[in-house]
Amino acid sequence: MKSAYRKLEQSIGYRFKKKALLELAVTHPSYRYENPETEDDNQRLEYLGDAVLSLIAAEHLFQHNPGAREGDMSKLRSRLTQDRKLAQIGASIELSAFLRLGRGEEMNGGAKRPSNLADAVEAIIGAAWIDGGAKAVHKIFDKVFLPELSLLQDAPVKSNPKGELQEYAQSHNHGIPEYETIETAGPEHQRIFTVKVTVCGNAWSAQAGSKREAERLAATLALDELR
């Protein structure tokens, strides 16, 4: 087992003291199901890794961005730790070559499935936390996540008023905004949709040529007034 994961350890920048933890981190539930002698899979490590990664990312952003606002740091952390990004990271370190999958899952392309890659990345973080604590996780974070974070910080942030409105509402204990199409007018090839968003005890409406755009405009109006 020592040499089996050497390339993976090189890719993540950390050598495990207990190789069994790394093996467990790449063990999919389907493998455990098809191999009764295997007592556990990576789901519990995934749970731990999710929390640890969020903490380490928050710590890094706090320490290296003294002038950043809470909302800006939260957005960066969210973009860095979302499943899509984790799957990309998993692909970049060729994690699919090390996943332990059941036959059915493997035949159905499970090694390349984004959700499996994302889960395994989080599980590796959890395993590293158990194996070597914060120091171990920082090594992985610096090797694998920092380059991705730099790209995210340099990339322009697309406007997402619906996401920002939901974040605002929940942070002020107002629940999730509710969108309702209250009118559809015009011919089929030139429809005009009127959408109402209700949040924070008030409602705003907007019109556009698609429901999605009308929702975006309504959310923008709500944000402008609430802020």
**59 catalytic per annotation:** no
The letter for the amino acid at 78 is S
**122 catalytic per annotation:** yes
DSSP state for residue 158 in the 8-state scheme: P
Q: Which of 218, 31, 206, 53 is closest to 121 using CA atoms?
A: 53
What DSSP string describes 58-116? HHHHHHH-TT--HHHHHHHHHHHHSHHHHHHHHHHTTGGGT-B--HHHHHTTGGG-HHH
Annotated catalytic residue: which of 41, 50, 131, 215?
Answer: 50
Annotated catalytic residue: which of 41, 46, 119, 122?
Answer: 122
Give the SS3 label for residue 176.
Answer: coil
Judge contact between 46 and 119, C-beta under 8 A: yes
Active-site positions?
Answer: 50, 122
